[in-house]
């Protein structure tokens, strides 16, 4: 869409007014940054004589995508559909990283909490993988931040290709990524991470005339729901494993000890095991 024609006095004044409001909101707190925190306020401003197409151009030219517009005359149904579409886009953006399109930290934490609860109730496995690009600062320092962004996007594509539809891939830091693997124990998680490491080794990212090659390190923490576990506990286990991978040479993964292994066997399971032993061996 072409930039909005600033010769329109109404458009120019509206853009200035919205910018002043945006600055004012930021100066007096968090503004509109997090609609999930506390009360939600919609601010309305009537703009007679401003066509919707002109507003779209104005929004594109001045980065006003957080402001919603709805015509109040004529057939409003198409505009309500457009509004619904825009609200869906904003909802998506609230849970996704703008650069890579992966889940953001908030969505990751919510998903991890849910899957740990599911594992605890059903004693089903879950694995958390924390990944960090090796020597990423060198990429930014040598080739510039636009190249670094291309590397992050390329890694996100690798994670999306390797994960299943119901796994969660998230960007949880600058060059840190995480995977929540539902129903996956340690052995299967290790196999998947090895595929990711190999795909990153083979990744070609062009920055000008240069081809940038990188590696990645990972920490894996697996859980089967037999002991108490919080999301922070599981993240800490994976982080410690990642730290060990980094300090033992990079371009590798390290698996954390499985916390369930130290838990006592449930009584019902012991009875079942003893019954099977008697049936098959005759020894009590």
**Active centre residues (catalytic):** 175
Q: 3-state DSSP call for residue 43?
A: coil
Can you give 110-133 as a three-state secondary structure string?
Answer: HHHHHHHHHHHHHCCCEEEEEEEE
Sign of torsion over alpha carbons 47, 53, 56, 57: negative
The conformation of residue 168, written as its DSSP 8-state character, comes to E
Let me know if 116 is exposed, middle or buried by CB neighbors in 10 A (0-12, 13-18, 19+). buried
Check if the beta carbon of residue 255 is closer than 8 Å to that of residue 194. no
CB atoms within 10 A of CB 187: 12
Token pair belonging to 158: 């690798």
Closest CA to 105 of 30, 160, 178, 181: 178
| Calpha distance 56→79 (Å, rounded) | 12
Element (H, E) at 154: helix 145-162
Q: 3-state DSSP call for residue 39?
A: coil
| Calpha distance 175→171 (Å, rounded) | 8
First to last CA, the chain: 79
């Amino acid at each position: 869409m072409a930039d909005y024609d600033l010769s329109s006095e109404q458009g120019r004044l509206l853009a200035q007014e919205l910018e002043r409001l945006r600055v004012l909101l930021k100066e007096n707190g968090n503004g509109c940054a997090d609609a999930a925190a506390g009360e939600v306020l919609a601010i309305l401003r009537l703009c007679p004589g401003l066509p919707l197409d002109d507003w779209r151009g104005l929004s594109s030219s001045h980065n006003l995508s957080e402001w919603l517009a709805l015509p109040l005359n004529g057939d409003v149904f198409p505009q309500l559909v457009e509004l619904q579409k825009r609200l869906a886009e904003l909802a998506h953006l609230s849970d996704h990283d703008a650069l890579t399109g992966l889940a953001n930290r908030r969505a990751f934490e919510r998903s991890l909490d849910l899957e740990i609860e599911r594992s605890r109730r059903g004693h089903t496995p879950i694995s958390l993988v924390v990944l960090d690009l090796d020597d990423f600062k060198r990429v930014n320092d040598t080739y510039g931040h636009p190249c670094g962004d291309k590397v992050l996007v390329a890694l996100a594509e690798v994670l999306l290709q390797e994960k299943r539809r119901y796994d969660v891939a998230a960007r949880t830091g600058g060059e840190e990524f995480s995977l929540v693997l539902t129903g996956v124990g340690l052995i299967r998680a290790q196999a998947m991470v090895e595929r990711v490491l190999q795909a990153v080794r083979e990744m070609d990212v062009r920055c000008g005339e240069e081809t940038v090659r990188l590696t990645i390190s990972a920490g894996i923490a697996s859980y089967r729901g037999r002991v108490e576990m919080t999301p922070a506990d599981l993240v800490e286990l994976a982080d410690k494993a990642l730290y060990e991978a980094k300090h033992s040479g990079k371009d590798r993964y390290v698996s954390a000890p499985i916390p369930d292994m130290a838990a006592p066997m449930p009584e019902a399971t012991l009875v079942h095991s003893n019954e099977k032993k008697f049936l098959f061996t005759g020894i009590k």
